[in-house]
Amino acid sequence: MADEKKAKKAPKLADAATVSIDPATRQMVAHAQKLGIETVFDRAENMKQCNIGVQGTCCKNCAMGPCRLPLPKNGIEGEDERKGICGATANTIAARNFVRMIAGGAAAHSDHGRAVAEVFLSAARKEGDYQIKDIPKLMATAPHLGVETQVEVDGEMQDRDVYEIALEVGEAALKEWGKDEGELLYLKRAPKPLYDKWTKEGVKPRNIDREIVEIMHRTHMGVDQDYKNLMKQGTRAALADGWGGAMLATDLQDIMFGTPSPLESEANLGVMKEDHVNVIVHGHEPVLSEMIVAASQSPEMIALAQKHGAKGIQLGGICCTANEMLQRHGVPPAGTFLQQELAIITGACDAMVVDVQCVFQSLANVAKCFHTHLITTHPIAKMEQKNVIHIEFDEHHAMEDAKKILTMAIENFKNRGSEVMIPNYKATQIAGFSVESIQYHLGGTFRGTYYTLNDNIINGRIRGVAGVVGCNNVRSKMNNAHIEVVKELIKNDVLVLTTGCNAIACAMEGLLAPESAAAFCGPGLAEVCETVGIPPVLHMGSCVDNSRILLAATEVVNAGGLGKDICDWPVAGSAPEWMSEKAIAIGQYVVSSGIYTIFGGTLPTSGAPVFHDHLCKDMEKIYGGMWDVEPDPLKHAHKMIAHIDKKRKELGIDKARERVLMDMEARQAIDA
């Protein structure tokens, strides 16, 4: 009896039939369970969420705690009695936790940006394997960083040397992380009324690192104990991310690797090929993966793969390294965040190469069950498990590193076991919509404006625009909310801009194919998409590329006719299945740029209703944008649509839409 009691209870298994709306995922989870391999879906069954943590009111900022302040059953009555040992209120604790999440997210995006800036500098100095590829983008970016692109020679203006400009751009960019005075240079790219709002509120970031450090100071035990003041600093750090580190990452990557333009590819685990060497790149920083793509196309590597019995090399991606490789090279994503283990469980992954962010440590345990080489490449992101190989990326011999990794994968091809199962599911997609390529598609090279988009918003064919982005979260059915929200938006004539794992989810469901316009859109949006030849959901890249959405929103303001500020026009943001700290940082920079932003699942603020209202109500008065939360995908989409309609009404363009969307009967009545 005692032995029986001691016997370990077998962990529960997830119901493979309901984990996701994606059939490939369901098939692979069932396969993993048959093989006795645990995945994130099973672990979620056995790990209950902490109810107080979910509410945002657990503080462990000093060793007198943790202090836990659950919401009393009778609501906020007795609010005064709820305090930690030091007296910290629920608002203080929730706000401290929230801004620490912003610090984590802003640090992740911005440190990525810094790493890119360092590689950029080496490219500008012609030291390594990287080059300055996109000269027009360099010329467009330089003035924003105070770098002249022309010089006066004998009374005439002449173009400066490209590498000289690049060097100054790289140096100016790197200064943004630690300069000792002034403010971030990119803030001036925002519409003037928004910039003025930030000035008035005193939230303009001074430099990127400082704002993150200051959050850690202010949230230390016994420092800032006013949730409004804490959120001011949270806003500063979030703006330092969106209009700083993330935007710099996007620009410098575009200059080095090329600004994306539309291209065709595929998505889902079915992109892996049984007769090819499969290499999966995963994480966020594209610098090494860029070289892996180049190396995989070299005759030398292809010949080596063939010598080892493979037909060729198939690259695939997970998470945002996938999005980076997709938007510039058409490398197909093999899956979203929640599919990372499944790519190895196919038994056909010869190497998985990971860099930073969103990488499960459990990959090492899964890789142990197969022949897969799991290779970490970043000095700040190693794993303790012994089967993990670390090959540290160095920009000075990047091509050599890439070839070394590919050779290891190729030589590993013969070691595959008999358990190979690649699900036969993949969908076609069009990706690669940058701010510049949207401009080209909608306005043509010479018009160079978003006016066509504005025109269609004003006449009501396009009801509004939504940025739907972000992660998967295993606490909800994978991709269900992503797809329901997006489908409901496009059905109601809302054009969707997507990044991150939402983009991969939409691609897997076929929503990034132009044909989806006829199948899923309302009549107005379908007409525009069919005329211009674009899908109703535009893939704008990785998580750092949410900066593209900020700039696209600014372009709409600049094109005219839809108000003077981002908060004036019908645009909304959403992260239906968010999970990471980066999502909170993005949410706050989007809100403080004037955009209504709604999250699915829960927000870690529900245990502090006053602080929650500060985010969801007061923010609108300050910045024009505000937070909201709604787990039900249909209600979620309709809250966004209601906001879009509110903005249409404020602009006086609500009537135009009613006219445009009259049904046939109504039109005939007019004609008669």
Where does this chain bind ligand SF4 (CB under 6 A)?
59-62, 64-67, 84-86, 88, 93, 221
Helix (H) / strand (E) containing 150: strand 150-153
546: left (phi over 0), alpha (psi -120 to 50) or beta: alpha
CB of 243 vs ligand MSK, minimal distance in Å: 19
Please classify residue 30 by burial: count the beta carbons closer than 10 Å to its beta carbon, then call 0-12 exposed, 13-18 middle and 19+ buried.
Answer: middle
Q: Residue 120, interface with ligand MSK (CB under 6 A)?
A: no
Between 93 and 345, whose beta carbon lies closer to ligand SF4? 93
Amino acid at 440: Y
Q: Which residue has tokens 């703006």?
A: 239
Q: Residue 167, interface with ligand MSK (CB under 6 A)?
A: no
Count residues near ligand MSK (CB under 6 A): 13
Between 80 and 180, whose beta carbon lies closer to ligand SF4? 80
> 3-state class of 493 per DSSP?
coil
CB of 146 vs ligand MSK, minimal distance in Å: 30
Q: Residue 246, interface with ligand MSK (CB under 6 A)?
A: no
Tokens of 362: 């459990």
Residue 501 site contact among ligand SF4, ligand MSK, none (CB < 5 to 8 Å, cut-off depends on kind): ligand MSK
Q: Residue 103, interface with ligand MSK (CB under 6 A)?
A: no
Between 263 and 610, whose beta carbon lies closer to ligand SF4? 610
Between 27 and 472, whose beta carbon lies closer to ligand MSK? 472
CB of 386 vs ligand MSK, minimal distance in Å: 26
Assess contact for 211 and 241: CB atoms under 8 A. no
Q: Residue 584, interface with ligand MSK (CB under 6 A)?
A: no
Residue 64 site contact among ligand SF4, ligand MSK, none (CB < 5 to 8 Å, cut-off depends on kind): ligand SF4
Whole-angstrom CA distances from 319 to 17, 108, 322, 522 are 23, 14, 5, 30
Helix (H) / strand (E) containing 373: strand 373-376
Residue 61 site contact among ligand SF4, ligand MSK, none (CB < 5 to 8 Å, cut-off depends on kind): ligand SF4
Provide the 8-state DSSP code for 325.
Answer: H
HEC secondary structure over 518-553: HHHCCHHHHHHHHHHCCCCEEECCCCCCHHHHHHHH
Q: Which residue among 116, 145, 334, 358 contacts ligand MSK (CB under 6 A)?
A: 358
Give the residues across from 156 on adjacent strands: 153
> 3-state class of 633 per DSSP?
helix
Assess contact for 654 and 648: CB atoms under 8 A. yes
Q: Which residue has tokens 């590498």?
A: 163
Q: Residue 470, interface with ligand MSK (CB under 6 A)?
A: yes
Q: Residue 580, interface with ligand MSK (CB under 6 A)?
A: yes
For 214-228, give one letter per residue: b (16+ CB within 10 A) or e: bbeebbeeeebbebe
Site string for ligand MSK, 311-330 (x = CB under 6 A): --------xx----------
What's the rounded Cα separation, in Å, for the pair 528 and 434?
18
Q: Residue 592, interface with ligand MSK (CB under 6 A)?
A: no
Beta-carbon count within 10 A of 258 CB = 17
Residue 582 site contact among ligand SF4, ligand MSK, none (CB < 5 to 8 Å, cut-off depends on kind): ligand MSK
Site string for ligand MSK, 473-512 (x = CB under 6 A): ---------------------------xx-----------
Site string for ligand MSK, 533-572 (x = CB under 6 A): ---------xx-----------------------------
Q: Residue 582, interface with ligand MSK (CB under 6 A)?
A: yes
CB of 472 vs ligand MSK, minimal distance in Å: 6
Q: Residue 337, interface with ligand MSK (CB under 6 A)?
A: yes
Please classify residue 155 by burial: count the beta carbons closer than 10 Å to its beta carbon, then call 0-12 exposed, 13-18 middle and 19+ buried.
Answer: exposed
Between 470 and 536, whose beta carbon lies closer to ligand MSK? 470
Between 97 and 412, whose beta carbon lies closer to ligand SF4? 97
Binding site for ligand MSK (CB under 6 A): 284, 319-320, 337, 358, 470-471, 500-501, 542-543, 580, 582
